Amino acid sequence: MNAETAAAPHLRLDSIVKTFGSFTALKGVSLDIRRGEFICFLGPSGCGKTTLLRVIAGLDPQSGGMVWLGNRDVSRLPPSARDYGIVFQSYALFPNLTVQKNVAYGLKLGRAAERARVEELLALVGLPDAGPKYPAQLSGGQQQRVALARALAPSPGLLLLDEPLSALDARVRLHLRRQIRELHRRLGITTIMVTHDQEEALTMADRIVVMNDGVIEQVGTPDEVYRQPASPFVADFVGAMNFLPGVLEAPGQVRLGVHRFECGGDHLSDAAPGAAVTVCLRPEDVQVRAAGGANTLEAVIESLEFLGPFHRARLAADGLGDARVTADLSANLVRDLSLASGRRLAVTLPRERLRVFEAAR
């Protein structure tokens, strides 16, 4: 194996386009996925996540572009030649077959080997005694675990999951999140999971692929996507965010209302001073106790909403006009400072936490 071979990604998508009639669902999507990665496709309903997964699977071939598995061009190969297991949102088990038969479905082994393999898989997904049962005798979560076992049975190189948890109730979902991650850790299988649930993606993925309207907006670790959103769309879709209208004064300096702020974001280097910008800041990054100085505002608390571990405050800051700043304040802080609506306080918008985007025109 030469160096180039060793470095080849497990899966490469090269300029994938997918049209349905006159509608373009994927507008040139390129992505490299490394062997063993856990990838989430994250985005709102209708953005093309399922379409992309089906292109990878060969279930719904692309209209343009190429799909590579290692060094193999699989763009025109049928699903059976692409070495993956797949799980859909709906359980999709054969209702008239036992769990044992469902899991064994794709296997071509002798009877004894098949029995052993099914046993191994059912143990792996935590359902060692489910073999003789029928799908209808299992809960939704149990059926998805059987579907996982079935997908993994032939030892595929790639595991594709299309919203596998979204039909389940919250408790089961949390449990299965952990179980799928643990399974991934033990098997090391390259996994792509589609989800519209940002929390699911943030907690499970090695890297998140944020999609919007047929394009990739950002690829990054959960921390990167959360801390350094590449676009206002990502900033808005993942987590809560303040969007404050401002004007670029100089590199690293913006004007918000009557105030001049320092900002750490350097991704606006080619925007001219005077450009309209949107300044983004997470509510939890608003600081209350910082001692005066740069980037500090006087504000009045308009409302304070109790959300358990923290309070979400709506702040009207002096000199910011109609803009409001949302700040998440810890329950301890609110108690220690006896904060309540109507109270005045000084808040700091930390320089290194401000991200600046050119305003949409």
Ligand X SMILES: Nc1ncnc2c1ncn2[C@@H]1O[C@H](COP(=O)(O)OP(=O)(O)O)[C@@H](O)[C@H]1O
Q: Which parts of this chain interact with ligand X (CB under 6 A)?
A: 20, 23, 25, 43, 45-51
51 touches Mg ion by CB under 5 A: no
Q: Whole-number minimum distance, CB 166 to Mg ion, in Å?
A: 9
Q: What are phi and psi of 219, to 5 degrees?
A: -125, 125
Residue 45 vs 338, nearer CB to ligand X: 45
Order of all β-strands in the sheet with 253-256: 259-262, 253-256, 242-250, 276-281, 355-358
Q: Whole-number minimum distance, CB 31 to ligand X, in Å?
A: 15
- Taking CB under 5 A as the binding criterion, the range among 45-53, 144-152, 184-192, 241-249 that sits at the site for Mg ion is 45-53
Residue 198 vs 278, nearer CB to Mg ion: 198
Residue 26 vs 138, nearer CB to ligand X: 26
Measure the CA–CA gap between 220 and 207, rounded to whole angstroms. 5
Measure the CA–CA gap between 126 and 331, rounded to whole angstroms. 39
Tell me the torsion sign for CA atoms 27, 208, 156, 135. negative
What SS3 string covers 156-209? CCEEEEECCCCCCCHHHHHHHHHHHHHHHHHHCCEEEEEECCHHHHHHHCCEEE
Q: Determine the residue with CB nearest Mg ion.
A: 50
Residue 158 vs 211, nearer CB to ligand X: 211
Which of Mg ion, ligand X, none is residue 177 near (CB under 5 to 8 Å by kind)?
none
Measure the CA–CA gap between 254 and 260, rounded to whole angstroms. 6
Measure the CA–CA gap between 37 and 16, rounded to whole angstroms. 21
Site string for Mg ion, 108-137 (x = CB under 5 A): ------------------------------
Q: Whole-number minimum distance, CB 216 to Mg ion, in Å?
A: 16
Measure the CA–CA gap between 104 and 91, rounded to whole angstroms. 16
Residue 216 vs 349, nearer CB to Mg ion: 216
| 8-state DSSP, 1 | -
295 touches Mg ion by CB under 5 A: no
Report how many residues bind Mg ion under the rule CB under 5 A. 1
SS3 content of the chain, % helix, strand, coil (to 5): 30, 35, 40
Which of ligand X, Mg ion, none is residue 25 near (CB under 5 to 8 Å by kind)?
ligand X
- Taking CB under 5 A as the binding criterion, the range among 25-33, 42-50, 70-78, 183-191 that sits at the site for Mg ion is 42-50
Nearest C-alpha neighbor of 70 from the set 104, 33, 43: 33
50 touches Mg ion by CB under 5 A: yes
**Two tokens at 76?**
């025109």
Which of ligand X, Mg ion, none is residue 251 near (CB under 5 to 8 Å by kind)?
none
212 touches Mg ion by CB under 5 A: no
Residue 89 vs 296, nearer CB to Mg ion: 89
Which of ligand X, Mg ion, none is residue 48 near (CB under 5 to 8 Å by kind)?
ligand X
Residue 141, H or E segment: helix 140-152
Residue 192 vs 325, nearer CB to ligand X: 192
Q: Whole-number minimum distance, CB 162 to ligand X, in Å?
A: 7
Binding residues (CB under 5 A) for Mg ion: these are 50
